[in-house]
Structure 1
Amino acid sequence: RVPQHSTLSRKFVEVMTEYNATQSKYRDRCKDRIQRQLEITGRTTTNEELEDMLESGKLAIFTDDIKMDSQMTKQALNEIETRHNEIIKLETSIRELHDMFVDMAMLVESQGEMIDRIEYNVEHSVDYVERAVSDTKKAVKYLSKDRR
Structure 2
Amino acid sequence: MRDRLNELQNRAYAPDAVIQMDASRVMYDSQTSSEQFFTHVNELRESLDVLQKRLQNLQQKQTAILSETVVRPEDKIQLEDLMEDIKKHIKSLRPRVKQIEVDLARDEAAGSETYRTSAQLRIRKAQCERLRSQLNDMMMLFNQTQIEYKSRVSRRVKRQLQMTGQNVSDSQIDEMLDSKASDIFYRQLNPISVEGRMAIEDATNRHQEILDIEKSIGELQEIFEDIFQIVHQQGEIVNHIESNVDAAYEYTNSGNAKVKSAVIHKKSAMRKKLCVITLVIAILLILIIVAVILGVTLTGHGK
Same fold per TM (> 0.5)? Answer: yes
Measured after TM superposition, the shift of residue 63 of structure 1 is 5.7
Give percent identity, aligned residues only.
29
Contact kept in structure 1, 2:186 and 2:200, CA below 8 Å: no
2:156 to 33, 44, 47: 33
2:197 to 74, 84, 88: 74
1:125-136, aligned counterparts within 5 Å? Answer: none
Residue aligning to 1:86: 209
Bigger Rg over Cα:
2
The separation in 2 between residues aligned to 1:29 and 1:44, in whole angstroms, is 22
SS of aligned partner of 2:165: coil
1:1-148, aligned counterparts within 5 Å? Answer: 3-58=126-181, 60=184, 64-68=188-192, 70-112=193-235, 113=237
The separation in 2 between residues aligned to 1:82 and 1:101, in whole angstroms, is 28
Measured after TM superposition, the shift of residue 37 of structure 1 is 0.3
The one-letter code of the counterpart of 2:190 is I
The one-letter code of the counterpart of 2:184 is A
Deviations 1:41-92 (A, max 9, x none): 1135444333321222245368634323x32222211111111111001100
Matched residue pairs, number? Answer: 115
The separation in 2 between residues aligned to 1:111 and 1:65, in whole angstroms, is 54
The one-letter code of the counterpart of 2:226 is D
Contact kept in structure 1, 2:166 and 2:191, CA below 8 Å: no
Runs of 4+ in 1 over 4 A off after TM superposition: none
The separation in 1 between residues aligned to 2:170 and 2:188, in whole angstroms, is 18
The one-letter code of the counterpart of 2:128 is H
TM-score when scaled to structure 2? 0.34
The separation in 1 between residues aligned to 2:156 and 2:167, in whole angstroms, is 13
TM-score when scaled to structure 1? 0.65
SS of aligned partner of 2:190: coil
Deviations 1:66-120 (A, max 9, x none): 323x322222111111111110011001110000000111222334547xx7xxx
The answer to which of 13-22 and 47-56 deviates more is 47-56
Contact kept in structure 2, 1:38 and 1:44, CA below 8 Å: no
The one-letter code of the counterpart of 1:72 is E
